[in-house]
Amino acid sequence: MAGELPFEQPLAELQAKIEELRKFSAEKGIDFSEEIARLEERHARLQEELYRNLTAPQKMQIARHQQRPTTLDYIGMIFDDFIELHGDRLFGDDPAVVGGVARLDGMPVTVVGHQKGKDTKDNILRNFGMPHPEGFRKALRLMRQADKFRRPIISFIDTPGAYPGNAAEERGQSEAIARNLAEMAGFRVPIVCVVIGEGGSGGALALGVGNRVLMLENAIYSVISPNGAASILWKDASLADRAAEVMKITAEDMLQLGVVEEVIPETRGGAHRDPAYQAGLIKEALLRHLRELSALSEEQLVEDRYRKFRKIGVFSFADPDNGT
Amino acid sequence: MSIKDIFQKKRRYATITSEKAKRDIPGGLMTKCPKCGTILVTKELEKNQKVCMSCGYHFRLGALERIQYTMDEGRLLEYDAGMISADPLDFPGYKEKLARSAEASGLKEAIVTGEGTIGGYPAVVGVISFDFFQGTLGSAVGEKIARAVEKAMEKRWPLIIFSTSGGARMQESILSLMQMAKTSAAIKKFDAQGGLFISVISDPTYGGVSASFAMLGDYVIAEPGAAFGFAGRIVIEQTIRQKLPDFFQTAEFNLKHGQLDRVVHRKDLRPFLIKLLGMHAAPAERGAAHGR
């Protein structure tokens, strides 16, 4: 088992002990099968306990796992004939966002998504999946193309957030995000979004205005990173775990709050343990939702998306004549 | 439930008059300009629409002051006056902070929405107040904006939103984020109908508000010196590890980088809006309402 997270250490240690005992048994020809069986049983029990009730901070670690499948990984496993397209036609080509046309079970679609790196070097190229305005504008250009040619849009969300930098500000980070939100709301084609890892703030939402928003079991979605929230709320970024708990960032929370329509289960331990299996589950969900949405007319698709977001929010009423 | 039902059920509009607004402005005979340090006579400062007589610094305005300076007779027929924030996530300290915000601002929520006339032209207006929870975008704020947009669609009136905000309201977490999509989708619908939306940005406007409806105006204007951007200056300085110039993220910076149509001085704001509304009025009304 590679790439264990800190909370998975006890499991990894137990696994190592079992391996060692097996090796020792084979080498020396001593029968340890009873001990091994006992340890394996303990391992299974521990595994069951550990993954059954993952806490929000633990899920956050899985969502950010270095080996977690990225947008391009899923595109390769889910779609055929993917043609990557580049550039926003205004400033440049942002490697933190990828997109293009492809076939999903034969059907032409447009796919866009945030792209994180697979290692440090790749992450520097991809800016850790944090787009500049040109990234959002590239995605918008491709989605407009989809709207023109009546292709469904699939988006994969996986970003810590929009990049906070001076160049991003100069080129209108706010406008780029705002424009995507408004334009996505108006497209006449089905839009299905999948939060595959980190859904970080406005940078995530800028690809997230869909008729259906799906979320992987261990993915997270939040208005600000738990680290950021902790440093603002309690002036202490080390309280990120506590912030992750109180902020309600898990897929289950999103389902309860009406933000996502479906939680796609993950392989035990996380999507990185079996990317191909995970891709299969995502594909099945995409096809199912697109099939349902294909029954709607263009006007109905726009109205359906409007209603989805229009109803999100919880507020209350005071007596208007009674002061505050 | 249709929009119509919402408004038929709640017809208890409160009219905010300039008298009430005046009462709500905290006293103090003298006020110090935070920019140049000049001691100003508060009454004179208020007469000058809270712009420093010495250096031109635009003081932050509460919603009621903005209404007083902008609307005809300082009047706004308020929508959804009783709508307030809930605490859907049971977030530690949220209720207390809401109570403190209400006390500090004299408001029930961070935005006042309603209808009135400017130079005789009717408009649906939203005014965010920074003194209530830093003008942050909670569910109630998002809902009030969406309803105001829908009201403007129904009446086919122009929409003007005065923004000032620290961004998202963390205490409502994802629900706050989703208000960005909700308000932007409403603006998009209004846009498709051909509606006129003027966005006025004042100091400071950030994050969830700058990256949603505030940047979606047919016209986007800002007051001089208004800080305006997506990420806060401190966050950016920490990211790039260098100090940013004072000019960074001001209205003038944004104008230079093509993010705004104009920077408009507060004393010119009402005449500017009247002129612009006049350009969009139906031919028969053009000029008729002008100069009232």
pLDDT at B16: 61
Residue A61: name the closest of A261, A272, A279, A224 by CA: A272
pLDDT at A199: 97
pLDDT at B292: 43
**Do B153 and B193 touch, CB atoms closer than 8 A?**
yes
Residues 138-167 on B with a CB inside 8 Å of A are: 138-140, 142-143, 146
Tens-digit pLDDT profile for residues A124-164 = 999 999 999 999 999 999 999 999 999 999 999 999 999 99
Question: What is the percent of chain B with per-residue pLDDT over 90, rounded to a whole number?
Answer: 81
Instruction: Annotate A197-247 with three-state secondary structure.
Output: EEEEHHHHHCCCCCCEEEEECCCEEECCCHHHHHHHHCCCHHHHHHHHHHH
Question: What is the percent of chain A with per-residue pLDDT over 90, rounded to a whole number?
Answer: 78
pLDDT at B1: 43
Least CB-CB distance to A318: which of B82, B91, B213? B82
Burial (CB count within 10 angstroms: exposed 0-12, middle 13-18, buried 19+), residue A142: buried
Give A-chain residues touching B82 at CB under 8 angstroms: 317-320
Least CB-CB distance to B184: which of A182, A201, A248? A182
Residue of B nearest to A183 (CA): B188
**Do A222 and A199 touch, CB atoms closer than 8 A?**
yes
User: Does residue B288 or residue A174 have the better pLDDT?
Assistant: A174
Residue A234: name the closest of B223, B92, B193 by CA: B92
Q: Is residue A291 pLDDT above 60, yes or no? A: yes
β-bridge pairing A153-159 and A107-114: parallel
- Contact of B107 with chain A, judged by CB distance below 8 Å, is answered with yes
The distance of A245 to chain B (nearest Cα, Å) reads 10
Least CB-CB distance to A166: which of B178, B232, B236? B236
Q: Tabulate helix, strand, coil % of chain A (nearest 5).
A: 50, 15, 30
pLDDT at B5: 47
As a whole number, the mean pLDDT across chain A is 94
Residues 166-205 on A with a CB inside 8 Å of B are: 166, 168-175, 177-179, 181-183, 185-186, 201-202, 205
Average pLDDT over every residue of A268-290: 97
Question: Could you tell me how many CB contacts below 8 A there are between chain A and chain B?
Answer: 203
- What is the identity of the amino acid at A158? D
Place of tokens 């000032």: B164
Q: With cut-offs at 50, 70 and 90, classify the pLDDT of residue B284.
A: low
Residue of A nearest to B92 (CA): A246
Q: Is residue B15 pLDDT above 70, yes or no? A: no
Q: With cut-offs at 50, 70 and 90, classify the pLDDT of residue B286.
A: low
Place of tokens 């697109």: A290
The distance of A209 to chain B (nearest Cα, Å) reads 7
The distance of A186 to chain B (nearest Cα, Å) reads 7
Least CB-CB distance to B170: which of A174, A223, A316? A223
- Contact of B245 with chain A, judged by CB distance below 8 Å, is answered with no
Rounded-to-integer distance, Cα A126 and Cα A315, Å: 39
* Half-sphere exposure of residue B109: CA atoms within 13 angstroms, side-chain side: 30
The verdict on a CB contact (< 8 Å) between B181 and A208 is yes
Residues 39-98 on A with a CB inside 8 Å of B are: none
- What is the identity of the amino acid at B9? K
Residue B186: name the closest of A25, A310, A166, A83 by CA: A310
Residues 276-305 on A with a CB inside 8 Å of B are: 305
pLDDT at B27: 58
Q: With cut-offs at 50, 70 and 90, classify the pLDDT of residue A29.
A: confident
Q: Is residue B183 pLDDT above 80, yes or no? A: yes
pLDDT at B18: 52
Phi, psi of A162 (to 5 degrees): -65, 145
pLDDT at A53: 86
Give A-chain residues touching B172 at CB under 8 angstroms: 223, 314
Average pLDDT over every residue of B273-280: 97
Residue of A nearest to B3 (CA): A310
Question: What is the percent of chain B with per-residue pLDDT over 70, rounded to a whole number?
Answer: 87
A140 three-class SS? helix
Tens-digit pLDDT profile for residues A173-212 = 999 999 999 999 999 999 999 999 999 999 999 999 999 9
Range with the poorest average pLDDT among A135-144, A185-194, A227-236, B164-173: A227-236
Residue B138: name the closest of B190, B107, B105, B174 by CA: B174
pLDDT at A229: 86
Rounded-to-integer distance, Cα B223 and Cα B264, Å: 5
Rounded-to-integer distance, Cα B129 and Cα A165, Å: 27
B269's tokens: 């704001």
The distance of B187 to chain A (nearest Cα, Å) reads 7
- Contact of A253 with chain B, judged by CB distance below 8 Å, is answered with yes
Residue B266: name the closest of B200, B209, B217 by CA: B200
Least CB-CB distance to A164: which of B188, B235, B258? B235
Question: What is the percent of chain A with per-residue pLDDT over 70, rounded to a whole number?
Answer: 98
Tens-digit pLDDT profile for residues B16-38 = 655 454 444 455 899 999 999 99
The distance of A233 to chain B (nearest Cα, Å) reads 9
pLDDT at A30: 85
As a whole number, the mean pLDDT across chain B is 90
- Contact of B83 with chain A, judged by CB distance below 8 Å, is answered with yes
Residue of B nearest to A221 (CA): B174
Task: Give ∠ CA A126-A129-A131 in degrees, rounded to 5.
Answer: 90
pLDDT at A324: 42
Across A78-185, the runs of DSSP E, i.e. the strands, are 80-84, 97-104, 107-114, 153-159
The verdict on a CB contact (< 8 Å) between A186 and B192 is yes
pLDDT at B289: 52
The verdict on a CB contact (< 8 Å) between B174 and A249 is yes
Average pLDDT over every residue of B163-173: 96
Range with the poorest average pLDDT among A18-32, A100-114, B65-79, B157-171: A18-32
B64's tokens: 């009621």
Range with the poorest average pLDDT among A14-28, A115-129, B12-26, B144-158: B12-26
Tens-digit pLDDT profile for residues B100-149 = 999 999 999 999 999 999 999 999 999 999 999 999 999 999 999 999 99
pLDDT at A320: 53
The verdict on a CB contact (< 8 Å) between A185 and B179 is no
Interface test with A, best of B12, B173, B233 (most A CBs within 10 A): B173
- Contact of B255 with chain A, judged by CB distance below 8 Å, is answered with no
- What is the identity of the amino acid at B53? M
Q: What is the ipTM of this complex?
A: 0.94
Tens-digit pLDDT profile for residues A60-97 = 999 999 999 999 999 999 999 999 999 999 999 999 99
